[in-house]
Amino acid sequence: MLKGLLLALVMLGSLVRADDTPLDSIPSYPITISASESREFPALAVDFGNLKLQGDSLTVVPISTELGVTGAVLVGDGTYSYTPEAGKTFAGQFHSAMLRFNPKDADSIIKLDAGKKIVDRGASELARLMVAGTFRHCYHRDKNALIPPEHAIAVDLYSKELGDILISADDKIAIVHNFTTGATLYEKK
């Protein structure tokens, strides 16, 4: 648990170093997860930075703040690939994933309008459960969202091969952490 909290602070460190703003003075925002905002995608591909996610028959439940969509929960099976540097790739299958990003990057990551708008109470409840367990892994203050810097991406996914892993990167740092085993698999500061 403590290592996870320290990991979250490491990921937030780039926010603090970027403009020397103390962490506690960065604004945070309540999040909203709504069944009526769910989207159904027969096929979905996310390709942002060095992260790629693909899946068929995925339901996407947006994570919204007053500033816009700052994340999404993907419910369904897919594949992931993250290549932080040449010759180093993390890849496998996932059962669900929570993405975090800056609202300004939302359309570059997932074009929500491309999905069929549905009301899916089951998917939104699964999204709430996933957020309850993983939101604390990155870009958060208590239950509120901190907004990641532009061009940053984080995904906490349930990997068939590795369990609960966090992949998070911005222009300066990158980390892959396995919360199931408590081991950091990759780190670049």
Residue 142: what pLDDT?
A: 85
Instruction: Report yes or no: 139 and 67 within 8 Å, Cβ to Cβ.
Output: no
Instruction: Report yes or no: 80 and 155 within 8 Å, Cβ to Cβ.
Output: yes
How far apart, in whole angstroms, are the C-alpha atoms of residue 34 and residue 121? Answer: 8
pLDDT digits (tens, 9 = 90+) for 27-52: 999 999 999 999 999 999 999 999 99
* pLDDT over threshold 60, residue 162: yes
Residues in the chain: 189
Instruction: Report the pLDDT averaged over residues 155-177.
Output: 95
pLDDT digits (tens, 9 = 90+) for 91-143: 999 999 999 999 999 999 999 999 999 999 999 999 999 999 898 898 988 88
φ, ψ (nearest 5 deg) of residue 48: -140, 125
* pLDDT over threshold 80, residue 17: no
pLDDT digits (tens, 9 = 90+) for 44-79: 999 999 999 999 999 999 999 999 999 999 999 999
Residue 138: what pLDDT?
A: 87
In this prediction, residue 21 has a pLDDT band, given cuts at 50, 70 and 90, of: low
Please report, as a single letter, which amino acid is at residue 41. Answer: F
Instruction: Report yes or no: 174 and 10 within 8 Å, Cβ to Cβ.
Output: no
Whether the full predicted model's pTM is greater than 0.85, yes or no, is: yes
Domain ranges of the chain: 2-181
Residue 20: what pLDDT?
A: 58
Closest Cα partner for 61 from 96, 23, 22, 26?
Answer: 96
φ, ψ (nearest 5 deg) of residue 83: -120, 95
* pLDDT over threshold 90, residue 6: no
